[in-house]
Structure 1
Amino acid sequence: MSQYKKNSIKLLGAIGLGTGVMISAGIFALLGQVAELGGKYFPFIFIIGGIVTGFSAYSYQKLSQAYPSAGGIGMYLVKEYGKGTLAAFAALLMAFSMVINQSLVARTFGTYTLQLFDINQNSIWVPILGVGLLIFAFLVNISGNTFIQSFTSVISLLKIIGLLIFAGAGLIVANFSFQPAESSGQSPETTITSFIAAIALTILSFKGFTTLTNQGEEIENPKKNVGRAILFSILISLFVYILIAWAVSSNLSIGKIIEKKDFALAAAAEPALGNLGVWFTVIIAIIATISGIIASVFAVSRMLAMLTDMKLIPHRHFGMPGSIQRHTLVYTIVIAMILTIFFDLSRIASMGAILYLIMDMIIHWGLLTKLKEKVEANLFVVGAAFTLDAIVLTAFVWVKIQSDLLIVIVSLVVLILTFIGEKLFIQKLKNNS
């Protein structure tokens, strides 16, 4: 069995983990993509995304109070659907979306770091630096919970302060003018569908709160503190996102934001603060992505270990020593490395959003239909969360079918193969029992 240390993570440490995952890929890698889909009013999309996330977080909070567990989402799904194919399938979707997020953060780290050396963002150094960050995250994660929570808490505070300084400076330069970004003839047309689709990416930027559910038994007083940590992490992230989005909107045209979408914050810092601002922003991005990757790897490896212990996913040691938890950490890093090498930021984000929203809907549906008599929850709020996810997912997939059909096909193949693989694995276990 994997070893979990109860009460090893304090409330502040949990909040540090949550914000550590959220305030990384969310604002640095996705802001430009949100602007591309949502147009000049893209800052409002972060607010809408925060509201939709709030509805979703309600389900997780209620489940965490009823079933605090280091397995988090995996345990919730088993409580909802039993130890069967659907629970294992949805749990793996969550794990995949978290690993995808790690590769998103890793490539963001590489993209922003290269801004210090005036190297093209399409350089091979982007995946090389991303892989290097993943290796560093692995080394930190094998050091134990105490170091991880201290490291992520301190570094999360530093990056939040840095981002607030950036946002404040940008708004001061713009005379605190909360005007939408200027449009140009080259800016893509924004439709209602694309605007709604952009919400999917902001939801992805908030999904870090689910990290906290995977530390259920490890967080001190989990029945209270998991919910508190989720709430504070979302509110802190939303506040930072809004300020940053408006600062960028006030200093760059929408066309420029889209052109520089993979490093929009660094591009926005130059007109506001000059070269010093670019250096400052890149350093903050490096700090943010480092803390984000460490917190995310910490969470997903434990989730996979719990799923393995519950015999919901297959496991092979491949001759590696140590616990299952250590093995799943290795698997997590290796898969993230492969994605970092072969996919760009836009496609990584798209696949992550699709897989995550499907898993999220399965969680809400289970609470709505399977546990309504066992878990005290407002079914209207849970139903609203399911409906909002469905609307956003439909719009996002429709936009991607028109603009990038390949990533929709790849996502569909991943869904089909995962479901079939889990069905065969579960059936084999039943036959052998």
Structure 2
Amino acid sequence: MRLFSAKTAGNRQKSNKTEGDNAKIALEWLFFELKSDSAINQALIRPSLAFKGFTTITNSGSEVIDPKRNVGRAIIISIAACVVIYTLVGFAVASNLSLAEIIETQDYSLAAAARPALGEYAVWFTVAIAMMATAGGILASIFAVSRMLDMLTEMKLVPHRHFGMPGSIQKHTLVYTVVLGLILTAFFDLSRIAALGIVFYLIMDIAIHWGVLRYLREDVKASAWVPVMAILLDLLVLGGFVWVKLNTDPFVIRVAVATMIVIAVAEQIFLKKSENSRQSGDEESHAHDHH
């Protein structure tokens, strides 16, 4: 009995020591991360990109049967599915790796967790999953952006040139989107592209919610608190992200501001020319009717 008690006490001491070591490692890692901008970047960029994916579902509304009913369902189902998948992945990693191992293998912790079951094939398995997920996300984003540009072109809000290409406007905007993406990858690394995307997306989201609140609230029967809360949360995230980038990589913010100024000026010029052309066309039509 005494021997059993001694062994039990020894095991408890080892367990407490392990837990203490894990806590110490976690605190040291957290302190190291918070000294840099990486922790804030991860906390802002990844959730923003994740939820951006859900909002792109709305860009396919015109191609969905009964969009008023099914678009909302699609968003809810996709969020629920992602929560389940992320929870299962987190449980699998936490069940197979200690805290120290998770911190050590943070970029490939899923592969490390799968190694006991799949051996050396674990890395290839997780790489294949990551490639499929990345490809799916890229294709979905390209389609959503090209669909939105097609819609804006049809509304005469953005300029468009065929450049001799056959097919519909959406096919043209699809090509333009891919070319723009290739240009970005040629001049910026992935972290800067993601940072630019976050800035542009948050500002666009603020503008859209302001438009709904200011001009379309009665038409779409929107509750005022929803766009107001969305704007406040967007400003909170955008302010924190810009502050971090100004201290760590101000070049990204300069590029974002310069690009937005160019786009705003070009859009104003285009809209003014379009309005003048429309007025000239109306005047010619009236003159023709009088004759």
Are positions 1:389 and 2:234 aligned together?
Answer: yes
Counterpart of 2:282 in structure 1 is none
Are positions 1:322 and 2:167 aligned together?
Answer: yes
CA distance in 2: counterparts of 1:181 and 1:298, whole angstroms: 43
Q: Give the letter aligned to residue 265 of structure 2.
A: I
Are positions 1:217 and 2:62 aligned together?
Answer: yes
Question: TM-score, normalized by length of structure 2?
Answer: 0.76
Counterpart of 2:26 in structure 1 is 182
Task: Decide which structure has greater helix share.
Answer: 2
Are positions 1:345 and 2:190 aligned together?
Answer: yes
Q: Which moved more, 1:327-336 or 1:272-281?
A: 272-281
- Please report how far the alpha carbon of residue 254 of structure 1 lies from its aligned counterpart in structure 2 after TM superposition: 4.1
Are positions 1:308 and 2:153 aligned together?
Answer: yes
| Contact 2:165/2:172, CA 8 A, preserved across alignment | yes
**Identity of paired residues, percent?**
48
CA distance in 1: counterparts of 2:76 and 2:24, whole angstroms: 29
Counterpart of 1:334 in structure 2 is 179
Are positions 1:227 and 2:72 aligned together?
Answer: yes
| Contact 1:313/1:422, CA 8 A, preserved across alignment | yes
Per-residue deviation, residues 112-138 of structure 1 (Å, max 9, x unmatched): xxxxxxxxxxxxxxxxxxxxxxxxxxx
| Contact 2:60/2:144, CA 8 A, preserved across alignment | yes
CA distance in 1: counterparts of 2:232 and 2:191, whole angstroms: 25
Partner SS state of residue 26, structure 2? coil
CA distance in 1: counterparts of 2:35 and 2:212, whole angstroms: 35
Partner SS state of residue 314, structure 1? coil
One of 253, 270, 279 as aligned partner of 1:425 = 270
One of 98, 105, 121 as aligned partner of 1:276 = 121
Counterpart of 1:59 in structure 2 is none
CA distance in 1: counterparts of 2:198 and 2:87, whole angstroms: 20
| Contact 2:26/2:100, CA 8 A, preserved across alignment | no
CA distance in 2: counterparts of 1:245 and 1:271, whole angstroms: 10
Moved over 6 A (4+): none
Q: Give the letter aligned to residue 427 of structure 1.
A: K
- Change in 2 beyond 3 A, CA 1:412/1:283: same
Q: Give the letter aligned to residue 357 of structure 1.
A: L
**Structure of greater relative contact order (alpha carbons < 8 Å, 6+ residues apart):** 1
One of 181, 193, 214 as aligned partner of 1:369 = 214
Counterpart of 1:74 in structure 2 is none
- Change in 2 beyond 3 A, CA 1:423/1:181: farther
Partner SS state of residue 378, structure 1? coil
Determine which structure has more spread, i.e. the larger CA radius of gyration.
Answer: 2
Q: Give the letter aligned to residue 282 of structure 1.
A: V
CA distance in 1: counterparts of 2:84 and 2:276, whole angstroms: 52
Are positions 1:289 and 2:131 aligned together?
Answer: no
Q: Which moved more, 1:300-309 or 1:415-424?
A: 300-309
CA distance in 2: counterparts of 1:403 and 1:364, whole angstroms: 30
| Contact 2:105/2:112, CA 8 A, preserved across alignment | no
Question: TM-score, normalized by length of structure 1?
Answer: 0.52
CA distance in 1: counterparts of 2:189 and 2:248, whole angstroms: 15
CA distance in 2: counterparts of 1:403 and 1:256, whole angstroms: 25
CA distance in 1: counterparts of 2:241 and 2:142, whole angstroms: 27
| Contact 1:297/1:333, CA 8 A, preserved across alignment | yes
- Change in 2 beyond 3 A, CA 1:323/1:338: same
Are positions 1:359 and 2:204 aligned together?
Answer: yes
- Change in 2 beyond 3 A, CA 1:317/1:338: same
Q: Give the letter aligned to residue 368 of structure 1.
A: L
- Please report how far the alpha carbon of residue 237 of structure 1 lies from its aligned counterpart in structure 2 after TM superposition: 2.0
- Please report how far the alpha carbon of residue 181 of structure 1 lies from its aligned counterpart in structure 2 after TM superposition: 7.8
Per-residue deviation, residues 153-183 of structure 1 (Å, max 9, x unmatched): xxxxxxxxxxxxxxxxxxxxxxxxxx89834
- Change in 2 beyond 3 A, CA 1:197/1:289: closer
CA distance in 1: counterparts of 2:75 and 2:139, whole angstroms: 18
Q: Which moved more, 1:272-281 or 1:332-341?
A: 272-281
Q: Give the letter aligned to residue 123 of structure 2.
A: V
Can you give the 5+ residue segments of structure 1 that lack an aligned partner in the other structure?
1-178, 258-263
CA distance in 1: counterparts of 2:207 and 2:188, whole angstroms: 27
Aligned-pair Cα RMSD in Å: 2.9
Can you give the 5+ residue segments of structure 2 that lack an aligned partner in the other structure?
1-22, 279-291
CA distance in 2: counterparts of 1:372 and 1:181, whole angstroms: 51
| Contact 1:182/1:253, CA 8 A, preserved across alignment | no
